Amino acid sequence: MTKRVVVTDHAFKNLKHEEAMAHDLGVTLSVFQCTDELETAAAVRGADVVVTNFAPITRSVLSILAKNATVIRYGIGYDNVDVASATEFGITVANVPDYGVETVANHAAACVLSLTRRLSTYTSLIRSNGWAKPGDVGDLPALSSLTVGFVGFGRIAQALHQRLRVFGFSFVAYDPVTPPTVQNAPDVKSVSLDELARLSNIVSLHAPSNELTKGMIGREFLALVPTGALIINTARGALIDTDALIVSLEEGRVGGAALDVTEPEPLQLHSRLREMPNVILTPHAAFYDDMSIDRLQLMASQEAARALRGEALRSPVNRPTMIQAED
């Protein structure tokens, strides 16, 4: 029987790498734009490989895949995939952890510089008042007087650190998973999460979304940050308690935010964040440029090819006990 690859959803200009992979291996490729569980289940029934972006890969969806199937996430995070159920069913889950590190770091750096230099606030003042004085945005501290706190210090945070070093920032990081990485950066001090809140004028988020991290940037954390602190999120929207952030912005405890991801996503049309001149909003686009997208699709297609050939995967995130196919 011809093996089947399903792309559940995507936002790409074309699927040339996926199509080439399917042609080379003689498998069928089906492409959908699933948004909910029912659509996804209907699309993937019996699939040998599922490549997904944001479609919900739930327990019920996983239960109807082919035996020893593989699920590949377009990107780094995989919180839309029920990994525990996949492992139970003998399904391997893989991601593409390193396709766009430089792109996301560039986006985060742009957010840091835009917020610290009050670019959006100046723009808002000029548009509404015709012009503005430099001091109309309030205090504007020198970058060398500010501390950046990294919540998570993996590949992207490390790349962001390298970009920001030239501006003279000081650095701290909280990363209970990979503390040796923090220690290997001599100008990054490893601290607790509370210490990071107290010390950081700029908080940049680089943690995955899971039960331990959801809402970690909430009322208690935001009560500890220095007045005027800035929040940058290019990781996952669920890391931030959105209501607590809005209150902190309105009270002036937080001086601004750059949010590439939100909870929920898309951001509600009535959200007060949309009207704040000190908030930068981008549509989960930190990963996006022409080169990184091409690399993402190529690497996901290569991983799919390895799965179809029965080869070891490059980036598995679980290690299921394989279920032997019936004779």
Q: What share of the chain is helix, strand, coil (3-state, %, to 5)?
A: 40, 15, 45
Give which of 39, 29, 27, 81 is closest to 57, Cα–Cα.
Answer: 81
Q: Is 284 a catalytic residue?
A: yes
Q: Report the C-alpha gap between 57 and 165 in whole angstroms.
A: 39
User: 10, 161, 206, 236: which is the annotated catalytic residue?
Assistant: 236
Q: Copy the structure tokens of residue 122.
A: 């100046």
Cβ–Cβ under 8 Å, residues 234 and 261:
yes
Contacts of 290 (CB under 8 A, 6+ apart): none
For 306-318, the DSSP string reads: HHHHTPPPSSBS-
User: 107, 118, 284, 303: which is the annotated catalytic residue?
Assistant: 284
If one counts every other C-beta atom within 10 angstroms of the C-beta of residue 294, the result is 16
Token match 């004028």: residue? 201
Q: Is 265 a catalytic residue?
A: yes
Q: Copy the structure tokens of residue 290.
A: 């022409």
Give which of 28, 1, 116 is closest to 304, Cα–Cα.
Answer: 28
Q: Report the C-alpha gap between 300 and 274 in whole angstroms.
A: 34
* Side chain identity at residue 152, one-letter code: G
Contacts of 57 (CB under 8 A, 6+ apart): 8, 40, 50, 71, 80, 81, 82, 86
If one counts every other C-beta atom within 10 angstroms of the C-beta of residue 235, the result is 27
User: 265, 272, 295, 306: which is the annotated catalytic residue?
Assistant: 265
Q: Report the C-alpha gap between 245 and 146 in whole angstroms.
A: 21
Question: Which residues carry out catalysis?
Answer: 236, 265, 284
